[in-house]
Amino acid sequence: MRTFTVGNPMTLDTLALGESADPGQPGAGEIRVALHGSSLNFHDLGVVTGRMGEAAGRIPLADGAGLVEAVGDGVTEFAVGDMVVSCFFPDWQDGTPTIGDFSRTPGDGIDGFAREAVVLPATAFTHAPKGYDAVEAATITTAGLTAWRALVVDGKLKAGDTVLLLGTGGVSIWALQIAKMMGAVVAITSSSDEKLERARALGADHCVNYRDTPEWGSAILEWTGGRGVDHVVEVGGPGTLAQSITAVRVGGHISLIGVLTGGAGDVPTAALMSKQARLQGLIVGSRREQQEFVRALEASGVRPVVDRCFPLEQLADAFRYEVGAGHFGKIGVEWWGGSWRRRGRAICGLGSRYRVRYLAACCPLPSPLPGRWVRMGRAWRAPLANPSRSPPFQGGERDGLAFDFASVRPARCRRPRPCATAASTS
């Protein structure tokens, strides 16, 4: 199966796509997942470039989502065809944090999800939110759950609270969506007026360009009438912390998440003490918290913001796009193959929302079959991706394989029906 590994030396130029052994069938308590999507995080970039330490030969990417292909003995939580999403800390099931490093984080201490299939304990996954495609689901593993824990689990966010967000990356945009979902009032910063307008369209109540307003902490304090904000999602680190302390209210909450401006620096301890604010570091969250987040997303209908999606083969280019810092929200990676089955003359494949069937008009079949295509008007598109991101295929032939569109139906109908046109197609 196709697999990406971190090169030696560890650079984007040496990030290599190769072949690895199929993981086989699941044992007791395990599931086999055909992976179809991931999303990039600053942490992943650190792994593939060596900033997080020695990782040559490691399979990168902490986020992974796909379809269950098989379940082992004793697994009752998942069934074949379920869309699932990985957990950042597969061993942290519930309760208070017990992990302070990345030794058991996929894509860092253990192999990640830049591959076509995995066999792992069922407890390393949760159900994806209903209706999400694989890339959308993957965004909750790291960025989404981090924002959820910062605001809801640790911050006890409630309607009417004021929230300050820094920048428009994956965590901050997820935090904007969560905060508005919970009825909060949100201020956000960026150096781009265009990005601030996009944030305003998502519900941001107050926008500050930090290049035009270097003392943005004081500007936020003034916006709140001198009271300060209840919550700050602090992703910058030492370069922004002083401004965040200025902006927070007395007795407020600062979630220290990121180190985008460095791993060490001065902390204005006197200012923090006078604010009597709670400065809390955090790294993502537990499996139970992810399940609670999924339930909230299903109830609210909120969907993540995916700025751009790359095919797996262009993983290095996806990271280069991340380095350029021009994205708004998340950067996705998507791929297909692995869940196709031949049933007589029909070829059946599972999508995140649809079960799709085709009739083969010529043989032999390539393996794996290229993509999951459905007809949308005169074009064929892949249902695992959002239509706006998926490449169109005009016509009925691809890679030497002719298709005749047969049916599309909800994925929850797991038992395949006979293709109506099978008898008349050769």
pLDDT in tens, 297-325: 999 999 999 999 999 999 999 999 999 99
State whether 247 and 317 are in the same domain.
Answer: no
Tokens of residue 211, six digits = 């290049």
State whether 204 and 82 are in the same domain.
Answer: no
pLDDT of 385 above 60: no
254 CB-side CA count, 13 A: 27
Tell me whether residue 408 is in a domain. Answer: yes
**Confidence bin at 262 (pLDDT 50/70/90):** low
Q: Which residue has the higher pLDDT, 397 or 97?
A: 97
pLDDT value at position 373? 42
Query: CA-CA distance, 228 to 247, in Å (whole number)?
Result: 5
Look at residues 311, 324, 175 and name the one whose alpha carbon lies nearest to residue 235. 175
Tell me whether residue 8 is in a domain. Answer: yes
Residue 267's domain comprises 160-279
Long-range contacts of 368-373 (CB under 8 A, 24+ apart): 368/116, 368/336, 368/337, 368/338, 368/340, 369/337, 369/340, 369/401, 370/336, 370/337, 370/398, 370/399, 370/401, 371/336, 371/337, 371/398, 372/336, 373/398, 373/403
Which DSSP letter does residue 418 get?
A: P
Q: Domain tally for the chain?
A: 3
pLDDT value at position 284? 97
pLDDT value at position 178? 98
Query: CA-CA distance, 85 to 140, in Å (whole number)?
Result: 8
Tell me whether residue 394 is in a domain. Answer: yes
State whether 327 and 346 are in the same domain.
Answer: no
State whether 204 and 315 are in the same domain.
Answer: no
Q: What is the overall mean pLDDT for the chain?
A: 83
Tell me whether residue 389 is in a domain. Answer: yes
Mean pLDDT of 396-413: 34
Which CATH number fits the domain that encloses residue 122? 3.90.180.10
State whether 330 and 345 are in the same domain.
Answer: no
Tell me whether residue 294 is in a domain. Answer: no
**Confidence bin at 239 (pLDDT 50/70/90):** confident
pLDDT tens digits, 240-254: 999 999 999 999 999
State whether 218 and 128 are in the same domain.
Answer: no
Tell me whether residue 290 is in a domain. Answer: no
State whether 57 and 116 are in the same domain.
Answer: yes
Mean pLDDT of 111-138: 96
Q: What percent of the chain has pLDDT over 70?
A: 77
State whether 109 and 182 are in the same domain.
Answer: no
Query: CA-CA distance, 1 to 119, in Å (whole number)?
Result: 13
Give the DSSP letter string of 90-152: TT--SSS----SSTTSBTTTB--S-BSEEEEEGGGEEEPPTT--HHHHHTIIIIIHHHHIIII
232 φ/ψ angles, rounded to the nearest 5 degrees: -125, 125
pLDDT value at position 261? 57
For the chain, the straight-line distance linking the first and the last C-alpha, in angstroms and rounded, comes to: 31
State whether 41 and 23 are in the same domain.
Answer: yes
**Confidence bin at 96 (pLDDT 50/70/90):** very high
Query: CA-CA distance, 354 to 334, in Å (whole number)?
Result: 17
pLDDT value at position 200? 97
Q: Out of 316, 334, 352, pick the residue that ends a domain.
A: 334
State whether 39 and 82 are in the same domain.
Answer: yes
Tell me whether residue 380 is in a domain. Answer: yes
State whether 113 and 9 are in the same domain.
Answer: yes
pLDDT value at position 142? 98
Tell me whether residue 242 is in a domain. Answer: yes
pLDDT value at position 402? 35
393 CB-side CA count, 13 A: 19
**SS3 state of residue 236:** coil
Which CATH number fits the domain that encloses residue 205? 3.40.50.720
Query: CA-CA distance, 55 to 50, in Å (whole number)?
Result: 7
pLDDT value at position 268? 86
Query: CA-CA distance, 382 to 356, in Å (whole number)?
Result: 10
Mean pLDDT of 43-68: 95
140 φ/ψ angles, rounded to the nearest 5 degrees: -85, -20
Tokens of residue 299, six digits = 């109830």
State whether 77 and 124 are in the same domain.
Answer: yes
Mean pLDDT of 119-131: 97
Q: Which residue has the tokens 């407890």?
A: 123
Look at residues 278, 294, 277 and name the one whose alpha carbon lies nearest to residue 286. 294
Tokens of residue 273, six digits = 């003490």
pLDDT value at position 122? 98
Q: Are strands 306-311 and 278-281 parallel, antiparallel or unpaired?
A: unpaired
pLDDT tens digits, 342-373: 344 444 444 433 333 433 333 333 333 344 44
